Chains A and B, each alone.
Chain A
Amino acid sequence: MTRPEQYLHAAKAEELAVRLASEGYSVSQEVRVGDLGWDLVASKGGRRIAIQVKLASALKASRDEIKRLRDLAVEHGFDEFRLVVVSPPRAVEVDIERLEAEVLRYVRGHMPEELAEISPGATAADLTDIQVDAVAIRREGIHVRGTGALQVETPSSAEAEGARAVTMVDVCPLTFEVDLDHQLRVVNAQKLEADVSSLRD
């Protein structure tokens, strides 16, 4: 399993454990019997359920294992074997030419208030790791919502006092909702928020 798949698997098992516990079940995680094991075992009032989480993409290759886990549950007197299939969100490939540079250009001219407040004199040096969450393409323009990692440069107080220039570089997550024209230039931002919580620490 890749790391995102491991995360998805673990997150689903945890979500189920919480849900079953809220329903009054006593829940054990990663219960092993010999070389096999279930992700969860839930019991309530004498009723026992063996639960296995599988990624949809791994279901085909796991057929024998699922059969063995189910047989094992029957053999050990469980009342139910439950297969929980989890699917990652469907990936959509979106590529907007020069989006990082365009959002960065816009940010430079419209520094988010919270950033200007916490780091007076800060400038946006770079914007990387852009993730586009939503795109709406309309006749009047293109609306893009997403996140990125904004590199912020701040001159140190020593520089301000004329001492040796030192520039501090920080990174903070940026959430944006911007409008692009048909030349893919950012012409307006409906939202431009920098998460400065790490800078406050």
Chain B
Amino acid sequence: MRFAIVRPGRPPSSQSSGARKFSARLHAEAAERYSDGVVQEGDLYTRIIWFHAGGLGGQDVDNIIKPIHDALIGVVYKDDVLIAQCLAARVDLSAGYELKDEGLPAEEYDTLVGMLAEAPQATEDRRRHVLYVEVGVLAAQRVAFGPPDGVGP
């Protein structure tokens, strides 16, 4: 099984004061949505995509990972040591982008498109950011090289 959540809001850096509060909130949202615990055992992957409509504030994409991983402990997995692979990406909504639907259920795709449509026009900073988090089981230990998701220069 696979866990996925789409939510508005700027993901905080692990060093920021809001990281703990953010983790607690994401934990609660995940628990509410996936009360049975969807991913139990095995090597896991996480895919974290941070869409933003400007106003990065110098925040690095690598620093947003830990608060998200921490938030899902006890809901999606027992321990984040199970995460064997992690992809974190930042997408600037003020530039062009492509959104494939493969691997994303229709309902989540529609929710995501809706939030992405709202973000550039939002005046409130938290609405100008959208976070997508996915966790699943790795079927194999496959190593690939080059740009992720086939996006080359």
Please report B residues at the A interface, Cβ cutoff 8 Å: 93-102, 106, 109-110, 113-114, 116-118, 120-121
Contacts and interface: CB of A to CB of B under 8 A. Distances in A.
Contact of A79 (B95, B97, B102, B117): B102
A57 B121 CA distance: 9
B96 to A, nearest CB: 5
Interface magnitude class on chain A: 20 to 34
Nearest to A12: B96
A72 interface: no
Nearest to A70: B101
Interface in A74-91: 74, 79-87, 90
Contacts, number: 57
A104 interface: no
A63 interface: yes
Given A74-B106, A80-B101, A90-B94, 5 more contacts: A59-B116, A70-B106, A80-B102, A84-B97, A85-B93
A79 B102 CA distance: 8
A56 interface: yes
Given A12-B96, A84-B96, A87-B94, A60 B117 contact: yes
Interface of A: 12, 56-57, 59-60, 62-63, 66-67, 70-71, 73-74, 79-87, 90
Contacts of B116: 59, 85
Most central of B102, B113, B114 by chain A CB within 10 Å: B113
Contacts of A57: 120
Contacts of B113: 59, 63, 66-67, 83
A56 B109 contact: no
A128 to B, nearest CB: 31
B110 to A, nearest CB: 6
B94 A60 contact: no
A128 B117 CA distance: 38
B101 A81 contact: yes
A80 B109 contact: no
Given A66-B113, A70-B109, A83 B120 contact: no
Nearest to A8: B96
A60 B97 CA distance: 15
A85 to B, nearest CB: 5
23 contacts: A56-B93, A56-B94, A56-B120, A59-B116, A60-B117, A60-B121, A63-B117, A67-B110, A70-B101, A70-B109, A73-B101, A81-B101, A82-B99, A83-B99, A83-B101, A83-B113, A84-B96, A84-B97, A84-B98, A85-B93, A85-B97, A86-B96, A90-B94
**6 closest Cβ pairs, A-B complex:** A59-B117, A60-B117, A83-B99, A81-B101, A86-B96, A84-B98
B129 to A, nearest CB: 15
Contact of A85 (B96, B106, B109): B96
Contacts of B100: 80-82
B113 to A, nearest CB: 6
Contacts of B121: 60
A86 B95 CA distance: 7
Contacts of A81: 100-101
A24 B89 CA distance: 27
